[in-house]
Amino acid sequence: GLLIAWRQTKEAEARRLRTARLETDLADAQLRALQDQLRPHFLFNTLNAISAYIEPEPKTARDMMAHLGDLLRLSLTAQQEHTLDAELGALSHYLQIEQLRFADRLHVQLDIEDRTRPAVVPSFLLQPLVENALRHGIHTQRHGGTVCIRSSASEGVLQLTIEDDGGGLPAGWSLDTDAGIGLGNTQRRLQRLYGEAHRFTVEPAAPKGTRVVVELPFRLSVTPNRA
C-alpha cells in the first residue's frame, strides 16, 4: 500500500511538471508571436515614416532610426517577464518615434509610483496598448491629444492604466467580441500567464476617451527563462 501511494504521488508530481512545462512553452510561443507581430507591423509603418523624413528632415529620420534599432534589439532579446522599469525603458523608444512623427499633436504623461518600478510585468505589455490608444484615440483627432500611463500598487496588486482623451469607444463595443489584434493578444496572454489572478478591462474614460486597466499580482522576482 505504501509503495502504491508513493508511485501515485510521483506520477501526480510528474503530471504537474509536464503541465507546467506545457504552460511555459505556450507562454513562450505567445511571446514569440507578439515579437513577430511587433516587428513587421511596426517596422513597416516606421520605415515609411523615416523615408518621408530623409530629405526634408534628415536629423528626425536619423533619430527615428536610432530608436527603432533600440526597440527591435529589445524585442529580439526579450524575456517572458521583466521589471516595469525595463518595460518603460522599451516603451520610451516607441514613444520617441511616435512623438517625432506627430510632433506637437501627441502629448504623453507618465504617473509612475517609484515603488512599482521593480515590479514584474510581461515584456512588451504596454507597447501594444499604447499603440492602440494612439491609433484609435489620438491619431483620429485633428488636434491630437494626450495619453497618460499610470502605475500604482495596493494590497498586493499592481495596477497599470493607459488612458487617452480621444474619440472613445464605439457604441456597443465589447472586449470579448470587438477587440483587435493588440487587445486580443494581450487578453489571451494575460490569461495564460496569470489566470484568474489578473484583471484586464477596456472602458470609457471621463469626460472622453478610453481607459485600459491591467491588474496583476505585485511581485518583485522575475522568473528566469528556461534554457
At 19-67, the pLDDT tens digits run: 555 555 555 555 555 555 555 566 777 788 888 888 888 888 888 888 8
Q: The C-alpha cell of 110 is what?
A: 507618465
**Is a pLDDT exceeding 60 seen at residue 158?**
yes
39, 31 in Cβ contact below 8 A? no
Average pLDDT, the chain: 81
How confident is the model at residue 226, as a pLDDT? 40
How confident is the model at residue 32, as a pLDDT? 55
How confident is the model at residue 38, as a pLDDT? 52
Burial of 35-71, coded b for 16+ CB within 10 Å and e otherwise, reads: bebbeeebeeebeebbeebeeeeeebbebbbebbebb
Which of 28-32, 39-43, 136-140, 183-187: highest mean pLDDT? Answer: 183-187
